[in-house]
Amino acid sequence: MSAPQVVVHHDKELMAQAAAARLITRIVDAQSARGSASVVLTGGRNGNALLAALAAAPARDAVDWARLDLWWGDERFLPEGDPERNVTQARAALLDSVPVDPKRVHAMPASDGPQGTDADAAAAAYAEELAAAAGPEDHGPVPSFDVLLLGVGPDTHVASLFPEHPGVREQERTVVGVHGAPKPPPIRISLTLPAIRAAREVWLLAAGEDKAGAAAIALSGAGEIQAPAAGAYGRSRTLWLLDAAAASKLPRALYPPASA
């Protein structure tokens, strides 16, 4: 477990741009060290803003897009191509404008896919895909992702792990079907906390006043069942990337003055 580092940016636009630059650097470093890199993407307004900033960044060409594996932390269990699916939004924000290898874009199953409308079977299929991609050096059933991105919800949820929901209590499976989610759509697929914590680095994104309470709760030592964001951390680094509004309820001692 890595202690969280907090970086605060003036506004959400600067946060997205800085996070994109940071992600480019991390991907390039991983590719230089091991030949390839793996990133877990997140949806939502902050995740999509980061992808759009990455698409607009001149430095994006430093990434060897053909040697990058892309996964997702969660997905809305809707038909392929539905505009509400995270992968659909990611394609519009970034993936359609860079030369990614389609075989290395690991979208979570859709509700009209091979498993049909069975979200639990779809989750199991994604878990099998993750396990197949994990090597001996990963020491577990998922790859050691270089960076795993998570948006933080106003209720402290991350991926589709909601407070007190069954998914946040899961300790064995790496991917679960989520039923009765408190925000639409009610049926989703999500990585579990054990899968999230296999990542080398976990970056949590929060911008806006509506995220201030969640950030303060998660960074105050709350339990992961009540505040799932508190249970999301990387093996070597945990990074909270906030704008000033989302950081407004944090004790000033949590982040250095230079990051504001």
* pLDDT of 260: 46
Burial letters 168-205, b for 16+ CB under 10 A, else e? bebeebbbbbbeebeeeeebbbbbbbbbbbbbbbbbbb
* pLDDT of 259: 54
Residues sharing a CB contact under 8 Å with residue 27, sequence separation 6 or more, in sequence order: 37, 39, 63, 68, 146, 147
Helix (H, G, I), strand (E, B) or coil at 133: helix
Measuring CA to CA, which residue among 78, 112, 50 is closest to residue 181? 78
| CATH number of the structural domain 4-259 | 3.40.50.1360
Tell me the CB-side half-sphere exposure of residue 109, using CA atoms within 13 A: 25
Parse the chain into domains and list their residue ranges: 4-259
| Per-residue pLDDT tens over the stretch 108-151 | 999 999 999 999 999 999 999 999 999 888 889 999 999 999 99
Distance from chain centroid for Cα 32: 23
* pLDDT of 174: 98
Which position has the token pair 């790496």? Answer: 174
Mean pLDDT of 214-232: 96
Residue 87 has pLDDT above 80, yes or no: yes
Rounded Cα–Cα distance for residues 22 and 33 (Å): 17
Report the chain's mean pLDDT, rounded to a whole number: 96
* pLDDT of 62: 98
The structure's pTM equals 0.96
